[in-house]
Chains A and B, each alone.
Chain A
Amino acid sequence: DGGITQSPKYLFRKEGQNVTLSCEQNLNHDAMYWYRQDPGQGLRLIYYSQIVNDFQKGDIAEGYSVSREKKESFPLTVTSAQKNPTAFYLCASSISPDLAQPQHFGDGTRLSIL
C-alpha cells in the first residue's frame, strides 16, 4: 500500500543533542512538508520541498534542518538550537507543489526533552 512512513513514533532528546526524524513516502509525490503541531495551535510549516535537492524554509525554520537527496525521503533534524522542541511533528506529501491537491500525512513523531 502507498503511504508515508514516519519514524520513530516517540523520540527523546537530551540537552545539546541533535536528533533526526525520518519521513519516507512511496506515493511518487513531488512535494513534501514538515509541520509542527502544538496543543491549541494550528499546524505550523517548518520546511517544504518541491523537488529533489531543493527545499524552502517555512514559518518556523529556526533550529531545524532538512535534506531532500531522494524523492522518497525528507528527513528533519532538530538541532540543539531549537530550545523548545517538545511537539508532535508531522510529515506530509502532495502530488505537486503548485496544484490544489490534498496533502497526505504520516502518523507523526512525538518529540520530548529528557
Chain B
Amino acid sequence: GQNIDQPTEMTATEGAIVQINCTYQTSGFNGLFWYQQHAGEAPTFLSYNVLDGLEEKGRFSSFLSRSKGYSYLLLKELQMKDSASYLCAVMDSNYQLIWGAGTKLIIKP
C-alpha cells in the first residue's frame, strides 16, 4: 500500500531551527511536495523536490533522498506566524498526490 509518515506534532522556540521529517512508500514517484496550512485555511504550496538534494527558498529548505524514501522540511529563524500544520505529499506514478496527515508545529516565544 501507499503510506506517508510524519510526526503528529512538534514544538520549537521563536528564532530557532526546526526539521520536520517525512518518510514515504508509494507506487511510483513523480516528486514530493510540502504545503503549509494554517488552522481553518487552505494549504499553500511551499516546495517541490524530484531530485535528491536540498532546495533552499529563503528561510525554508526541503531535502529529498529517493533511495531512502525520505524528505525533510527545514525552517530557520522561526517566527510566530510559522505556527501551522505542514503537509507532506508525494505524487505517484498516476500523478495523484498521496498526503501525509500533517505535522502541527507550535512555536513558543
Q: How large is the interface on B (under 10, 10 to 19, 20 to 34, 35 or more residues)?
A: 20 to 34
Interface residues of A in 65-114 (CB under 8 A from B): 88, 90, 97-100, 102-108, 110
Known contacts A42-B102, A102-B33: does B43 contact A90 (CB below 8 Å)? Answer: yes
B45 surroundings in chain A (CB, below 8 A) = 102-104
In angstroms, Cα B44 to Cα A32, docked, is 16
Do most interface residues of chain B lie in helix, strand or loop, or is the interface mixed? loop
A45 surroundings in chain B (CB, below 8 A) = 96-97
A-B contacts, 26 listed (Cβ < 8 Å): A40-B101, A41-B101, A42-B99, A42-B100, A43-B43, A43-B87, A43-B89, A43-B97, A44-B99, A45-B96, A88-B40, A90-B43, A97-B95, A99-B95, A100-B50, A100-B95, A102-B45, A103-B45, A104-B45, A105-B44, A107-B41, A107-B42, A108-B40, A108-B41, A108-B42, A110-B40
Is B70 located at the chain interface by the 8 A CB criterion? no
CB 8 Å contact bits of A15-41 with B (1 = contact, 0 = none): 000000000000000000000000011
CB 8 Å contact bits of B31-53 with A (1 = contact, 0 = none): 10100000011111100101000
Query: Is the CB–CB distance between B42 and A90 below 8 Å?
Result: yes
Is B91 located at the chain interface by the 8 A CB criterion? yes
Q: List chain B positions with a Cβ less than 8 A from chain A.
A: 4, 8, 30-31, 33, 40-45, 48, 50, 87, 89, 91, 95-102
A88 surroundings in chain B (CB, below 8 A) = 40
Complex: chain A residue closest to B99, CB-CB: A42
In angstroms, Cα B49 to Cα A100, docked, is 10
In angstroms, Cα B9 to Cα A49, docked, is 33
B33 surroundings in chain A (CB, below 8 A) = 102
Query: Is the CB–CB distance between B95 and A98 below 8 Å?
Result: yes
Partner of B99, one of A43, A106, A107, A108: A43
In angstroms, Cα B95 to Cα A73, docked, is 21
Partner of B4, one of A42, A48, A100, A107: A42
In angstroms, Cα B43 to Cα A43, docked, is 10
Partner of A100, one of B30, B42, B44, B99: B30
In angstroms, Cα B104 to Cα A41, docked, is 12
